Structure 1
């Protein structure tokens, strides 16, 4: 039907219609319309569609006229551009073999020349380009190490700090390995120098950690182990046999840090100590110190608290030291006995060469702190029961430290005063031993299951 209508309409149209799908669809639609619709509604519909299409074309022209102009210009030059592109591609293809021959000739000519500065610079630049990622990773090592050390010092948890310190030590070991592999590299030397600064900061943080409050055995052993890895120079004296101390300098550092913590803890009693100093001044200014003075209550409070802290902290310090360094001392002591025997025939005996360990003199220093305090403030206490309580507390402190080899009970006899202030040490010791004997009897009667 559409083909027949197309044949009938073609002679009456100025522009012949193409037999496409759109034309066929519209002719088929015309065949379904009545004569009245063809005369009335269809012209109006076509006019409305034509007007809508015209408006759309105008809007599109207004909106995209530049793109149309550019497309038209490019289309006009397309016929000349394609042959020109083909010609240039052919010229490039013909020039590639010549370029390859020139490159091969250049390489053959200058490959055996070693003193050409331009070639050396070119080789270094090419090598730097190939290894830029590796160099970037190496340059980031000091910043990563510093960040790890700072994060470990900021973390309060033992697990997080342990993991971060381990990562920092691994980074430092990697940097030292690079320094061993490339000793002549200025870049590696600079990176190693920055790493040394970070390790000094880490050493400072670890030593400060030994001064922490209520340090435990696991934390102390872990910190000392890290110090051995970070600062191996502290053990050079021991390894070379220049000192008789088996723990090296770490033992002395540990004791110094814990002593600093003990002193700072005792300094927290300064308000009580100031009251005791006031009582000392009033007793000294009294005309008859043995007769008219009857105070000492504030001094008694200060001394009781002082002895309590001293007993707890001194026992903890010596106990931690023995648990951390005892195994090393036993192993290195047996190994060094044979070395000293073999060297005794060669080297002359030097009494200043083998010094005692730090722990051998440390309890005496602690006792000196205690006895100086007691000698200064004990005369203020005039009440006999208070004096006996303090002396008994001192004996318990001496016995507590004596379990670790630091009994100083006999040294306390030097604290005797004069006249009525002379303390009855025999009576106090007798009571103390009697109480200890009864406790021993009670414990011996407990049945063992």
Structure 2
């Protein structure tokens, strides 16, 4: 019936005014809305169709139009975009087809590359690229630690330079040198932990250069003027830590105490300081040389000669006495602290037994050219005395005044007694001042020296009787009294 009614109404729908925008409805079998409306028409009466249906349709049309307008106002951008996409749909679909085919063709190549990447960076096999990547990542994670390690040589050099600038006597230098040694110890520990690391090896080489500079500064500080015991002990202690190879050299000190090469180094530095101090007397020495030239040229033996030589020798003996006592005293306090009154004269006797023991160990060290060196202090006083006797032998004949000569010889006697308190009395050595060039004059000097020694022995004996003492050890008379008289 819906189809019949639709056919009946079709001519009227086709005759609609051309100005209308309504299109022809579709057949009921094609549109459910049309079918429902035709079924509704069959339920209405003729009067309703003639009167109310037209108004109902107009009202529904107007309501639908308002809804469409509201929808267009709200969603006009979506409609425009949909229209544009719809217009591009003809070209988009073929392009999508081409791209999908291209992707389908690239899938085997992508799978091949994925398999190759998985094989190349597999953790189950040893891979150079993967190892290099791991090292790079580890380097990135530890960049702060590496930066700290690279700064160690700079910090060490700065500490050494700061300590050298402040000297060894101050507390700041002690702290700075201690910090430098702690840094060097830390670097050596890193070298032990990572022996194959090129970075640590490079840092260790730079640290060794800084330690060489520190060793040079410490050795230079041992030549300083007025070196005190505390500063000397600190410096030697730092040298033992910085250059342990100096202490490991085969050397046998007094009482079997090993001092290595540090003892000889210390005495050499202090001897250099003594020589430089004595060189400050070069102006007086030049005046004394002029008097020597006049004496040898004119053979003038008259009194009143040698005033400049007297000034030179007096100052020379004063410096020699002070410095020689200080050098030996510092050495004993630093390297032989367990001996209260060692005697240098018996050092050789004690060394004989030590040499006998060391001779038995030579077969175990056949390639060592420095086997069993004696203590440096056993020969050092002889070198000091040689400096003094050479000077006396050269310049003492310039002084013709007997009183002046005896005064200088008395000063030398006190110098010998001062060094004798440490076991280095050289008063008897001065009796060997005989020179073949002017034998009579030198014999006169020796005779005067013997007279000075006799006078002091007599004075020491009277002082001992007055004080009632049983010993005069440590005094010039006590030292001289132990020596046999010279005839």
Q: Please, what TM-score do these two structures have when normalized by structure 2? A: 0.63
Name the structure 2 match of 1:174: 186
For residue 140 of structure 1, give the secondary structure of its aligned residue in structure 2.
helix
- Alpha-carbon deviation of 1:436? 2.7
Contact 2:291 2:398 in 1 (8 A): yes
Does structure 1 residue 383 correspond to structure 2 residue 401? yes
1:147 to 144, 149, 158: 158
Distance 2:365 2:152 in 1: 49
Using a 3 Å threshold, how does the CA distance of structure 1 residues 205 and 328 change in structure 2: closer, same or farther?
A: farther
Name the structure 2 match of 1:213: 225
- Alpha-carbon deviation of 1:433? 1.4
Using a 3 Å threshold, how does the CA distance of structure 1 residues 138 and 403 change in structure 2: closer, same or farther?
A: same
Name the structure 1 match of 2:413: 395
Pairing 1:318-333 to 2, within 5 Å after superposition: 318-327=328-337
Contact 1:262 1:313 in 2 (8 A): yes
- Alpha-carbon deviation of 1:294? 4.0
Name the structure 1 match of 2:312: 302
Name the structure 2 match of 1:267: 279
Contact 2:156 2:210 in 1 (8 A): yes
Name the structure 2 match of 1:415: 433
1:235 to 231, 244, 247: 247
Does structure 1 residue 405 correspond to structure 2 residue 423? yes
- Alpha-carbon deviation of 1:236? 1.9
Contact 1:296 1:382 in 2 (8 A): yes
Distance 1:139 1:353 in 2: 41
- Alpha-carbon deviation of 1:115? 3.7
Q: Which has the higher contact order (CA 8 A, sep 6+)?
A: 1
Name which of structure 1's ranges 255-264 and 406-415 shifts more when overlaid on structure 2. Answer: 406-415
For residue 300 of structure 2, give the secondary structure of its aligned residue in structure 1.
coil
- Alpha-carbon deviation of 1:432? 1.4
In the alignment, structure 2 segments of 5+ residues that lack a partner are 1-76, 79-112, 341-349, 470-487
For residue 289 of structure 1, give the secondary structure of its aligned residue in structure 2.
coil
For residue 248 of structure 2, give the secondary structure of its aligned residue in structure 1.
helix
| Partner deviation per Cα, 1:36-78 (whole Å, 9 max, x = no partner) | xxxxxxxxxxxxxxxxxxxxxxxxxxxxxxxxxxxxxxxxxxx
Pairing 1:17-28 to 2, within 5 Å after superposition: none
Name the structure 2 match of 1:425: 449
| Partner deviation per Cα, 1:233-254 (whole Å, 9 max, x = no partner) | 112223899xx88210000000
- Alpha-carbon deviation of 1:271? 0.8
- Alpha-carbon deviation of 1:339? 12
The total of aligned residue pairs comes to 338
Contact 2:247 2:262 in 1 (8 A): yes
Contact 1:279 1:380 in 2 (8 A): yes
Distance 1:430 1:137 in 2: 73
2:137 to 117, 126, 139: 126
Contact 2:252 2:374 in 1 (8 A): no
Does structure 1 residue 138 correspond to structure 2 residue 149? yes
User: 1 or 2, which has the higher helix percentage?
Assistant: 1
Contact 1:245 1:355 in 2 (8 A): no
In the alignment, structure 1 segments of 5+ residues that lack a partner are 1-78, 81-101
Q: Please, what TM-score do these two structures have when normalized by structure 1? A: 0.68
Using a 3 Å threshold, how does the CA distance of structure 1 residues 114 and 141 change in structure 2: closer, same or farther?
A: farther
CA RMSD between the two structures: 3.5
Does structure 1 residue 360 correspond to structure 2 residue 360? no
- Alpha-carbon deviation of 1:118? 2.4
For residue 237 of structure 1, give the secondary structure of its aligned residue in structure 2.
coil
For residue 248 of structure 1, give the secondary structure of its aligned residue in structure 2.
coil
| Partner deviation per Cα, 1:290-325 (whole Å, 9 max, x = no partner) | 3x4641011011001000100000000001101100
Pairing 1:68-147 to 2, within 5 Å after superposition: 110-147=121-158
2:461 to 428, 437, 440: 437
- Alpha-carbon deviation of 1:356? 1.7
For residue 257 of structure 1, give the secondary structure of its aligned residue in structure 2.
helix
Contact 1:283 1:293 in 2 (8 A): no
Distance 1:310 1:299 in 2: 16
- Alpha-carbon deviation of 1:342? 10
Distance 2:234 2:382 in 1: 28
Distance 1:110 1:349 in 2: 57
- Alpha-carbon deviation of 1:184? 0.2
**Quick check: which has more Rg, 1 or 2?**
2
For residue 158 of structure 2, give the secondary structure of its aligned residue in structure 1.
helix
Name the structure 2 match of 1:314: 324
- Alpha-carbon deviation of 1:419? 3.8
| Partner deviation per Cα, 1:316-366 (whole Å, 9 max, x = no partner) | 000110110013799xxx9xx999869949959999843321000000000
Distance 2:252 2:452 in 1: 50
For residue 284 of structure 1, give the secondary structure of its aligned residue in structure 2.
helix
Using a 3 Å threshold, how does the CA distance of structure 1 residues 278 and 338 change in structure 2: closer, same or farther?
A: closer
Distance 2:119 2:309 in 1: 97
Distance 1:164 1:195 in 2: 15
Contact 1:183 1:189 in 2 (8 A): yes
